[in-house]
Each structure stands twice: as C-alpha cells, then as structure tokens.
Amino acid sequence: MDRDATVAAEKAALRVKMIARRRSIPEKSRSEMSVAIAGYVIILAEVVNSRHIHLYLSIPALAEVCTSAIVDRLTAMNKQLSVPVIRNGELMTAAFRKGDLVQPAQFGQSEPQEPLIADESNLDVILMPLLAFDERGFRIGYGKGFYDRFLQRLSRKGITPRRIGLSFLQQKVDAVPADSWDEPLDAVVHEEGVIRFNSNL
C-alpha cells in the first residue's frame, strides 16, 4: 500500500473512532460544553476585532459542537456572519442572519433557503468543524475536502482569515494523519479554553 492509500485508510479509521467518541458524550454535556466554547469564542481577540465571520450551522445527528449560542452572541456583537453552502462541489460562503430560514442540504448540513453568496475577500475569521485535531494544528474532517479546498482558494487570492476549529477536548489526538494538501488551523477552541498553534496569534 502506498503512502497516500495508507494515510487515507488511517483517516477513515480515525473518523469512525472519533464520530463514535463524540456521540458517546451525553447530549446534556455536549450542550453545556458548546455554551462554554461559545463563551471562549466571543472573547478571542481575532473575533472581537473582526467584522465578517464564517461559521458552520451544526448538525445534531453528528454531535458537533453546537453553534447556536455562537450565532446568538456574534449577532449581539453586530458581526457580519456567513455560512457554508456547497455549489458545484465546492464550499462557498453565503450571508446569514439569525432567524434566516434554512433547509437541509446534500450532506445533512443546514443551508439558507435563499442563499446569497457573500464576498469571501473580506472574511476575517473562519470557525470550522472537525472530528479530530492534534498539537500541530492539523484537523480531520468528514473526508470531502471542502474546507481544505476553500482555504487553498482563499490563500491563492491572498485572503488570510484566521482558521479556528471548534472542538470538544476529547477530540484531541496525538497525531492526525496528514496529506500534503491538508490545511492546518491557527487555533482550536474547546470547552476549557483555547489552544493556539501559530505563535504570531
């Protein structure tokens, strides 16, 4: 088995393990930890100083960090929000306001019913979902590569928003199997605080 195939197999096994681990956290605990994570997110300097923040609308069936409290608090801070939508196999960012009508999309995520693609050139912060992360800042997602390609596209355009993962601390692992195209995070926010990977932040 060549290296690419080995990494792919390792990632697939880790995804199964981490989805099970996350789902094993009692719903009440996940809810409480999500609120704690929201509290840390809104006091991050890069969030406080930002105007335009991209964040995901959490998928309950996948036991993700719930972003409802983050949406509430960022709305109260008058931040411009946008959320991921998939168009032609690529992740785009669409304008979002608290209370906008949403509908389930291709992979179970909620998308605005009437999406208006936002100007990604003024993105300041991207709050990203993940299944696992390591001390180097590498993350593993659901295997579609949407966020990696999204971040690479922004980089090619010279757009450099802060990349912040939202995670329960139980999702930290010793090492995430990484490919050359995997895009590392600047920080992860979990229920007990913030882990930064970029010393310049």
Quick: pLDDT tens for 121-147: 999 999 999 999 999 999 998 888 899
Question: Which tens digits make up the pLDDT trace of 102-111?
Answer: 988 877 788 8
User: Tokens at residue 152, please?
Assistant: 């690479």
The DSSP bridge pattern shows strands 125-128 and 193-196 to be unpaired
Choice between 119 and 144, residue whose per-residue pLDDT is larger: 119
Residues 150, 130: Cα–Cα separation, whole Å: 15
Determine what percent of the chain is predicted with pLDDT higher than 90.
75
pLDDT tens digits, one per residue of 141-198: 888 889 989 999 999 999 999 999 999 999 999 999 887 777 889 999 999 999 999 6
Q: Centre a 10 Å sphere on the Cβ of residue 168 and count the other Cβ atoms it contains.
A: 21
pTM above 0.95, yes or no: no
Q: Token pair of 194, please?
A: 């913030």
CA distances from 38 to 50, 70, 105, 117 (A): 16, 5, 25, 25
**Per-residue tokens: 138:** 């590498």
How high is the mean pLDDT of the chain?
A: 92
Give the other-Cβ count within 10 Å of 116's Cβ.
11
The C-alpha atoms of residue 53 and residue 6 are separated, in whole angstroms, by 35
Q: Which CATH architecture has domain 3-196?
A: 3-Layer(aba) Sandwich (3.40)
